[in-house]
Structure 1
Amino acid sequence: MDIDAWVWWLIGAAGLGIGLVITAMPELGMLAAGAVAAAVVGALGGDAVFQVLVFAVVSVALIAVVRPIAARHSAQRPRLATGIEALKGRQAVVLERVDGSGGRIKLAGEVWSARSLDAELTYDVGREVDVVDIDGATAIVM
């Protein structure tokens, strides 16, 4: 049983695609695209040297062009703070007097236990405070 070269290129592209999914390395996807291009050339009757040349050119071109663009894009993307990191730096309103031993605040629409960063300071009801840290389920305020 003789299998055409273009089928081997597709098998290689599928293997590279599986590797891409397993490792999340985008370069494998670019190599898979090169293998698909070589399979097209093989299916159209191109000889083995031309198929390898197309694979190399398409793969290198994709890696040379797409990879720097993707790197720039990921470097420019702002990191979104989530969870407790998103609460740090926000303002809250004191619901029950807050001092070094405890109290209650309203932070992001929720009631939180809180304590003062400086144990000597107290914050009375209605005062706005800044959240500087979260310790477990307690907001540290100043």
Structure 2
Amino acid sequence: MDIDAWVWWLIGAAALGIPLVMTAMPEFGMLAVGAVAAAVTAGLGGDVVLQVVVFAVVSVALIAVVRPIAARHRSQRPELVSGVEALKGRSAVVLERVDANGGRIKLAGEIWSARPLDNEQSYEAGQEVDVVEIDGATAVVI
């Protein structure tokens, strides 16, 4: 019993899928897609040289195109920030004078203790300030 070339390519694609799952390296998946393309070429009657060329071209093209896109997405900050990080950059209203000794602001519907970034600055009640940092339970404002 002779096994067709396309079956061998599919076995190769499945074999490449195992390290993809075990290591989470997307390059193995791209090589597996190249093997599937070579299996299709073999199933359509392409010779061995054409099968290898299709495998190489599809695999290299996927790695060259998809890998930089994936790397760019991996390095971007998540769009959804929560907790203390979500408060940085928000505006607040001064409730009690904020100076080097402290004060109170209304931030995101809650009352926070606050201090100015520059200890020589002070903000009066009713002024709008921006939160630059959260230090424990104190908002640092400008």
In the superposition, the TM-score normalised over structure 1's length comes to 0.71
- What is the aligned residue count? 140
1:109 and 1:67 map into 2 onto residues whose CA distance is: 43
- One-letter amino acid of the counterpart of residue 59, structure 2: S
Matched residues in 2 for 1:108 and 1:96: separation? 16
2:46 and 2:13 map into 1 onto residues whose CA distance is 18
Deviation of 1:63 after TM superposition, in Å, equals 2.8
Helix, strand or coil at the partner of 1:38: helix
CA distance in 2, matches of 1:91, 1:99: 17
Deviation at 1:3, TM superposition (A): 4.2
Assess, with a 3 A threshold, how the Cα gap between structure 1 residues 39 and 127 changes in structure 2: closer, same or farther: same
Query: Partner of 1:33 in structure 2?
Result: 33
AA aligned to 1:107 is: L
How big is the alpha-carbon RMSD for the aligned residues of Structure 1 and Structure 2?
3.2
Q: Which runs of 5+ in 1 are unaligned?
A: none
State the alpha-carbon separation in 2 of the partners of residues 108 and 21 from structure 1: 43
Partner of 2:56: 56
CA contact (8 A) 1:101 1:116 kept: no
**Distance (Å, rounded) in 1 between the aligned partners of 2:4 and 2:111:** 69
Structure 2 unaligned residues grouped into runs of 5+: none
User: 1:34-69: CA deviations, max 9, x gaps?
Assistant: 11011112333434333222211221233334445x
Looking at structure 2, the residues matched to 16 and 111 of structure 1 have their Cα atoms a distance apart, in angstroms, of 56
The separation in 1 between residues aligned to 2:134 and 2:91, in whole angstroms, is: 13
d(CA) in 2 for partners of 1:4 and 1:137? 69
Measured after TM superposition, the shift of residue 139 of structure 1 is: 0.6
Q: 1:12 maps to which residue?
A: 12
Q: 1:132: which partner in 2?
A: 132
